[in-house]
Amino acid sequence: MLPPPFKIKVVEPIALVSPAERRRALADAGYNTFLLRSDDVFIDLLTDSGTSAVSQEQRAAMELGDEAYAGSRSFFRLEAAVREAYGYTHVIPTHQGRGAEHLLCRALVEPGQLVPSNLYFTTSRVHAELAGGVWVDVAVPEASEPESLHPFKGNLDLAALRAALERGNVAFVRAEACLNMAGGQPFSIENLRGVRALTQEHGVPLVLDATRISENALFVKEREPGYEDRDLPSIIREIADLSDGAVFSSKKDHFVPIGGLLALNDDRVAERARELVVVYEGFPHYGGLAGHDMEALAQGIRESTDERMIRQYVGQSAYLGGLLSGRGVPIVLPVGAHAVFLDAKRFLPHVAQHEFPAQALAAALYLAGGVRSMERGIVSGQHGHDPYDGLELVRLTIPRRAYTQEHLAYVADVVARTYEDRKRVPGLEMVYEPETLRFFQARFEPLAAFPALGEELRERLELSA
Ligand code: P61
């Protein structure tokens, strides 16, 4: 395997605080990894959102930021970069992905209308529902089966989609690339073509969540017959061309700390979205971003179509996944784009789902080695107090261009060590529950004391050094 297509020029120091400090930090954070301070974290695999390293070209471009309120040169460069990579006619910058979701849902969703989607994403669903929409999951069943080796678990179930469209009153259909909540799983272009045909037949817009479109395109190249010799930019473009528009959280594929995009082809919907952007984000020529942010974003979009860059990134998830599977740790297969997802139901079978196994496992990994991960189970996925028996995952998310294989090998050690001690990890009780998007700020107490995983791991690593 070739080494990464970049070398390190600027570094950020990180440190492993002591086991006693980790215990205190975790208790202070209410056993919720979102509430830890980053100084208390050693390897931060909470998210790939806004955590990538920027390139020297992005930093140089930032110097050229035009901070004009209206008619900024930087906006027009951003618009050109979006059109070149994806071909959409209208480009509306937003402060981040959920800003774009907000505008889209306000522009397209009438109360009572359906929004069919492959599974869901937290913020995407909340915005559809705040606009009065009704979320309908039309993912293929394999999306919710961690052990299924289906190569395209991000596919939409065409029969379920047809049924939703035949019920009528559909605002738009949402297809998410590299389906985050299923483990970063791609859709195939064949499936997207089927979705396209159905939405056209019913006159309903098809909108991509294109946040991780580059990795999806790479999986298409690797897995879908007929695409092996195609270049990555043309596959990305083919995916975008099958849709009427897209939302992007640019904090992922576009290598920027902040930024999002709403891209549309329909003039009327774009006009409505521009009326809304001035209320909620800012003038349409910056939409909540500084001129220098738009410059970094335009350059990041170009880098996100570089196959070597995307291959290196997806390769890091595969590397970590390989280390973990090799040590018998239950993970979601196939390994997806941006993360390795631990299957907490199989990792901690003694913790019932109402005792939050994924949240407890994320806490245990932090105690064991200062590794921060994210709960993606009942805390994130339960809708109100509806019954929930869905996926119960912990996401080890890889920031782009930020960590080396040595960091990832250490993470694998921490996870494997925790797996050996899994029977001693207790469940949790939720003691504070916010009304919306509760996972961000909920607080927990352990149902029994956590074992001294950290102390033991340190001893073991020191002994083997
Ligand atoms: C993440 F715990 N993702 O994966 P914004 N669509 C998609 C996303 O992955 C996404 C957004 C829209 C994050 C950050 C995050 O429940 C959470 O730029 C497919 O974050 O507004 C974001 O884009 C929203 C973490 C968001 C969460 C919501 O880590």
Q: Whose CA is nearest to atom 3 of ligand 1?
A: 49
Q: Whose CA is nearest to atom 29 of ligand 1?
A: 47
Query: How many Cα atoms sit within 13 Å of 291 on the Cβ side?
Result: 13
How many other CB atoms are found less than 10 A from the CB of residue 383? Answer: 12
Would you state the structure tokens that stand for residue 199, as one six-digit string?
Answer: 């939405």
Would you state the structure tokens that stand for residue 192, as one six-digit string?
Answer: 């997207």
Q: With a 6 A CB cut-off, is 281 part of the ligand 1 pocket?
A: no
Question: How close is the Cα of 43 to the center of ligand 1, in Å?
Answer: 20
Maximum alpha-carbon separation in the chain: 66
In angstroms, how far is CA 114 from the centroid of its own chain?
A: 23
Between CA 74 and CA 238 the distance in angstroms is 26
Q: Are strands 245-249 and 206-209 parallel, antiparallel or unpaired?
A: parallel
* Segment 393-422, tens digit of pLDDT: 999 999 999 999 999 999 999 999 999 999
Question: pTM higher than 0.75, yes or no?
Answer: yes
Residues with Cβ < 8 Å from 414, sequence gap 6 or more?
365, 368, 369, 371, 457
Q: With a 6 A CB cut-off, is 336 part of the ligand 1 pocket?
A: no
* Segment 302-319, tens digit of pLDDT: 999 999 999 999 999 999
Between CA 387 and CA 370 the distance in angstroms is 33
Q: Strands, DSSP E only, in 310-361? A: 339-343
Using 50, 70 and 90 to split pLDDT, how confident is the model at 459?
low
Q: Are strands 260-264 and 245-249 parallel, antiparallel or unpaired?
A: antiparallel
Query: How many Cα atoms sit within 13 Å of 436 on the Cβ side?
Result: 7
Q: With a 6 A CB cut-off, is 250 part of the ligand 1 pocket?
A: no
Using 50, 70 and 90 to split pLDDT, how confident is the model at 232?
very high
Q: Is the pLDDT of residue 462 over 60?
A: no
Using 50, 70 and 90 to split pLDDT, how confident is the model at 463?
very low
Ligand 1 pocket test, candidate residues 33, 49, 98, 391, most atoms within 8 A of CB? 49
Question: For residue 404, with 0-12 CB atoms within 10 Å meaning exposed, 13-18 middle and 19 or more buried, which class applies?
Answer: exposed
Q: Is the pLDDT of residue 457 over 80?
A: no
Which atom of ligand 1 lies at the shortest distance from residue 176's CA?
19
Q: With a 6 A CB cut-off, is 184 part of the ligand 1 pocket?
A: no
pLDDT at position 385 is 85
Query: How many Cα atoms sit within 13 Å of 378 on the Cβ side?
Result: 23
Which alpha helices (DSSP H) does 121-250 contain, by range? 122-130, 158-167, 189-202, 213-223, 232-241
Would you state the structure tokens that stand for residue 64, as one six-digit string?
Answer: 């050229």
Bridge partners of 137, per DSSP, are 117
Q: With a 6 A CB cut-off, is 123 part of the ligand 1 pocket?
A: yes
Question: How close is the Cα of 220 to the center of ligand 1, in Å?
Answer: 23
pLDDT at position 384 is 83
Between CA 461 and CA 465 the distance in angstroms is 6
Q: Whose CA is nearest to atom 5 of ligand 1?
A: 97
